[in-house]
Amino acid sequence: MGVVALTDSFYHGSYWQTGLEENVMRSNLAAVGTVCLLFLAAACNASAQSGDVQVSNVWARATPGGAQTAAVYATIQSASGDRLTGASTPAAQKAELHTMTMDGNVMKMRQVDGIDLPAGQAVTLKPGGYHIMLTGLTQPLKEGQSFPLTLAFEKSGTRELTVTVQKVGSMGTGNGMPGMDMPMHH
């Protein structure tokens, strides 16, 4: 009877239950930890995919009658850093990323593969610098109208935007607000 009592107390006693409970608890804790890590990874990925990219002041100049090209300008900022890699719009056959530079007295425009967006810094696409070149316009761009534009980012995926068409010859905004061109008096 002493052996049965020892065996009985060993399997049903506090030693066995405590050891079993600890193993179950460790297994549950590991499972909860794994689930938390998966949620955290998904949240970080969702943040990168939906992006922390802010796009503002998206505009283009109105074009004269037979013009086949136009440019789109904007201010883009990414909190964690990203890269603008492309653009598309139903308003033109092609949308390409371009830069414009001066070489002496000669202005040169060339296509670029992408535009880096350093973390926390605004990058302004503007006349005389980076811009989105539209070629093969489907119709002239008229002041006051708007059209859709899709931007593609390396980390943040795509972003749908609306481009506001400003007057012919507009230089955008001196104060960061579309439509607020101020004449300069000397």
Q: Per the structure, how many domains does the chain have?
A: 2
**Which two structure tokens, joined as six digits, stand for 87?**
């653009």
Q: Are residues 33 and 58 in the same domain?
A: no
Q: Are residues 23 and 115 in the same domain?
A: no
Q: Of 94, 149, 99, whose CA–CA distance to 123 is shortest?
A: 99
**Which two structure tokens, joined as six digits, stand for 38?**
């998966």
E strand or H helix that includes residue 40: helix 14-50
46 versus 1: the higher-pLDDT residue is 1
In eight-state DSSP terms, residue 119 is B
Q: Are residues 32 and 96 in the same domain?
A: no
Q: Are residues 57 and 82 in the same domain?
A: yes
Size of the chain, expressed as the number of residues it contains: 186
Summarised one tens digit per residue, pLDDT across range 112-167 is: 999 999 999 999 999 989 999 999 999 999 999 999 999 999 999 999 999 999 98
Helix (H, G, I), strand (E, B) or coil at 151: strand
In eight-state DSSP terms, residue 120 is T
CATH of the domain at 74: 2.60.40.1890
Q: Is the pLDDT of residue 43 over 50?
A: no
Q: Are residues 58 and 38 in the same domain?
A: no
Query: Residue 14: which domain range?
Result: 2-49
* 122-125/131-137 β-pairing: unpaired
Q: Are residues 131 and 73 in the same domain?
A: yes
Give the burial class of 150: count Cβ atoms within 10 A of its Cβ; 0-12 exposed, 13-18 middle, 19 or more buried: middle
